[in-house]
Amino acid sequence: NAGVTQTPKFQVLKTGQSMTLQCAQDMNHNSMYWYRQDPGMGLRLIYYSASEGTTDKGEVPNGYNVSRLNKREFSLRLESAAPSQTSVYFCASRGAGVWKAFFGQGTRLTVV
Amino acid sequence: DQQVKQNSPSLSVQEGRISILNCDYTNSMFDYFLWYKKYPAEGPTFLISISSIKDKNEDGRFTVFLNKSAKHLSLHIVPSQPGDSAVYFCAASGSNDYKLSFGAGTTVTVRA
């Protein structure tokens, strides 16, 4: 089982460039999440999707957009990257009625 | 405003001794609590959880204690082993909430 797969693993962007981080899960989970991890800040929720067809803002949504393409896939888009978006991004998924979430390996993004 | 707080950024403990990690929360609607472990360059992995109807949950060397009146939980690791060196995140969720909120994390170093 692959679990939660994120692509790419590493990315360097120039300020103002755009990109999409991809996430797919093969556990038939309803809910999916995007977090960013920064030193001293822990994991902060950017956006989440409670179920296919719905998305909601988390704690730090500014500068990001998301798409829940289908039940398996949840993508995160940076329309105009800024140095403040340099971070490690994690995708996670959670099944209905289950409390624990499963995480992907992360995407390390650097914006220069 | 962070609703889950881990006020100790780091903890150093000798191999074989007990590690105690603390977590405080502010949202009284939280009723399910989880601990995650994270190694460098990997995604967080689930460690142990507790629901608000319990005050203790044990799994091998790991025990989580919940004090609802104080809005406080702790993770005990006994005995600590070198492989326990990692970042530990406390997380919380409410029954009617799809979001999972995380603390800033505590870096545990187990000394030989």
Residue ranges of chain A whose CB lies within 8 Å of a chain B CB: 4, 31, 33, 35, 40-45, 48, 50, 56, 58, 90, 92, 94, 99-106
Q: Is B49 on the interface with A (CB under 8 A)?
A: yes
Closest CA to A21 of A72, A67, A82: A67
Q: Which residues of A touch B44 (CB under 8 A)?
A: 43, 90, 103
Q: Which residues of A touch B100 (CB under 8 A)?
A: 33, 45, 92, 94, 101
pLDDT, greater one: A40 or B57: B57
Q: Is B64 on the interface with A (CB under 8 A)?
A: no
Rounded to the nearest integer, the mean pLDDT of chain B is 95
> How do beta strands A4-7 and A19-25 pair?
antiparallel
Q: With 70 as the cut, is the pLDDT of residue B45 above it?
A: yes
Q: Is B89 on the interface with A (CB under 8 A)?
A: yes
A1 confidence band (pLDDT: 50, 70, 90): low
Residue range B46-52: mean pLDDT, rounded: 96
Residue range B29-46: mean pLDDT, rounded: 96
Q: How far apart are CA B22 and CA B19, in angstroms?
A: 10
Q: How far apart are CA A97 and CA B46, in angstroms?
A: 16
How far does the CA of residue A39 sit from the closest CA of chain B (Å)?
8
Q: With 90 as the cut, is the pLDDT of residue B1 above it?
A: no
Q: How far apart are CA A77 and CA A99, in angstroms?
A: 27
Contact state of A99 with B49 under an 8 Å Cβ cutoff:
yes
Which residues are registered as beta bridge partners of B56? B65
Q: For A48-103, how does the pLDDT look when each residue is reduced to its tens digit (9 = 90+)?
A: 999 999 999 999 999 999 999 899 999 999 999 999 999 999 999 998 878 899 99
